[in-house]
Homo-oligomer: A and B are copies of this chain.
Amino acid sequence: MKKKVTKVPKFKDFKTTRATSSALEKILYKQIPILDHGFIRVIDYMGTDQSIVQAARVSYGEGTKKLREDRGLIRYLLSHWHTTPFEMCEIKFHIKLPIFVARQWIRHRTANVNEYSARYSVLDKEFYVPEMDQLGSQSTTNKQGRSNTLDKKFAKQAQDLIQKNSEQLYDDYQNLLNGKLLNNDEYVEGEGLARELARTTLPLNYYTQWYWKVDLHNLMHFLRLRADSHAQYEIQIYAEKMVEILKKWVPLTYEAFEDYRSDSFQLSKEAMKIVKDKLANKKIKKSNYKLSPRELRELEIKFNIKLS
């Protein structure tokens, strides 16, 4: 089955006086492949690191213009949750993704979306089949996760089943659309079922596509949650590609994002106490702190300490 992609007319070179990111221009419109049939590509963007600084300085007025370097200001803004200057940048993606991934994605409401409509058009025969090494068993520690073990023989059978069912369902989908009536062992073509009904028989691993536009602040919020190891693998790798795009687009913001968001750690009131006591070489008695066993374990791992 040949991939059919909605073609976006490649824009010619224009002259502009808008803030322009030359690194991002280089990959504009280019498809970055993800999973077996998915992709991300950047369609448009507004602003650069400098636009954040510019917006912040309106909010601070003139006095501080020379006081701070751009990098320092961006780090200060991000670490102190002054989020509005980051909302001044915007990016627009064209994304092809399995429907079950789209269902998680859309829960982030502060973005603009235009999705391909299967009421309006027929879906392509493109579905997601996990690679062998992604076919994990239910995690025993994480109620919503997967482990990386599964009997190989069973994994192969599972993969085959997903492949076979997905193909069979597409045949049925087409027969429904074409009104193929099974008449004495022969198909007779007639008036078919409405697209808006036929589509409901396809499984959640089929691909859809959309335009997704978001401001930089909300993009980083999305990435913090979805490029995280607790996110489902199939959305995680989309998020990871977007982190790479972030790095090209706004390198100073990307650096601050890594330091103050994705690699940061939030200490609760009780965790603060325990770390403080440990730093003061006090003897730690776990039961003196209002922390669950999971929270205590997490502290031990994060700080490489032993709490007895």
Binding site for B on A (CB under 8 A): 4, 6, 8-20, 22, 25, 28-29, 43-47, 50-51, 54-64, 72, 75, 79, 81, 84-85, 87-88, 90, 92, 94, 98-100, 103, 106-107, 109-110, 112-122, 128, 130, 134-139, 143-147, 149-151, 153-154, 157-158, 161-162, 165-166, 169, 172, 176-177, 179, 181-183, 190-197, 199-205, 209-211, 213, 215, 225, 232, 258-260, 263-270, 272, 275-276, 278-280, 290, 292, 295, 302-305
Contacts and interface: CB of A to CB of B under 8 A. Distances in A.
Contact of A136 (B9, B154, B197, B209): B197
Contacts of A107: 84, 106, 113, 115
Contacts of A20: 11, 14-16
Chain A contact surface mostly:
mixed
B137 A157 contact: no
Contacts of A4: 62
For the complex formed by this chain, how many copies does it contain in all? 4
A196 B213 CA distance: 27
